[in-house]
Structure 1
């Protein structure tokens, strides 16, 4: 019996880092091998898990429905997602949801090159679920922790023997010329936004 490929872990990432990612690769020549997006902090991603505020939905299809959704994270940065006939459940959710709403999304990163050579990244959703504020807040905290873990591993590469450096960190250093401090700042801003929300709740009568 052929081995059934296991599903890739869905990684948590803030939109600022996700939108900076542009390099994709496969780890084998097999036509069905998974395509990975390389995050600037040195993590390979085949699926992502995000929670944020759905701010806008629009049918941008010409011949058939093709829904675009915008989801904003606590820093005000935007994930773009697209769902059409091959993602019927996700497309149905985007058709029916009334923004603004907190949503949880699991999906696959997709890159495309614009006419002027820019590489943009979006999410092809596998599932979209409406959630409450507590779920959004928990995602922010856990995503902050995962991002800091990646940054620490990335920074540690400066002190390690070349042979010991994580291969994806090495790849990120070769493919991107981006300061990982940008993502440390995103973590700080996201956690501060949660504190500000809590203070507003406490201040309200």
Structure 2
């Protein structure tokens, strides 16, 4: 049996759910074991796949470049950060001119603020410009996955559903509503321009 670690599946989640996924865990004591974010709909995520409108980029580094990107989907905003250890992603954030549709694969990162809040962001492995059709397909597939997870949440043997129930005190109906509204937002956009809209910041 091969000892080469396989790459984790990149999970799809809307910003509304992702930003609430503040609980992280490992499934073994090995210091190299993957760290998972626990999605509120009952799934673990070591990697995520997101698509949205890159509305803003900024180099917030002091001694070296450290780029922050603001990416908006129909439910909210993702923040992604890339520096010297993510050179390709940092280069993408430097070069892409907002607004633009982008697809990002990366790892969940949590940071506890001084007042005890937990901020959730994405440490990108890759950032690529995509077209409106790709963005729309991502919204549809992410809504489907979200609704599937909610349907299986209370199923017997769903350990991540049980874990989410234990760790979070937020109603699942919120995430169902967000998924439905994301789909409705696509219908509202039908017939409009394929260019990413300017988003108020």
Query: Does the pair score TM above 0.5?
Result: yes
RMSD: 1.2
Q: Matched residue pairs, number?
A: 193
Moved over 6 A (4+): none
What is the correspondence of 1:1-205 to structure 2 with a 5 Å cutoff?
Answer: 3-75=3-75, 77-154=76-153, 157=154, 164-200=156-192
1:199 CA drift (Å): 4.4
d(CA) in 2 for partners of 1:50, 1:149: 18
* 1:76-113 CA-partner distances (Å, limit 9, x unpaired): x1000000000000000000111000000000000010
What TM-score, normalized by structure 1, do the two folds share?
Answer: 0.92
Gaps of 5+ in 1: none
Answer with 1 or 2: which has the greater Rg.
1
**Structure 2 counterpart SS, 1:48:** strand
d(CA) in 2 for partners of 1:178, 1:153: 17
d(CA) in 2 for partners of 1:193, 1:36: 30
What TM-score, normalized by structure 2, do the two folds share?
Answer: 0.93
d(CA) in 2 for partners of 1:86, 1:182: 36
Gaps of 5+ in 2: 194-201
User: Which structure has greater helix proportion?
Assistant: 1
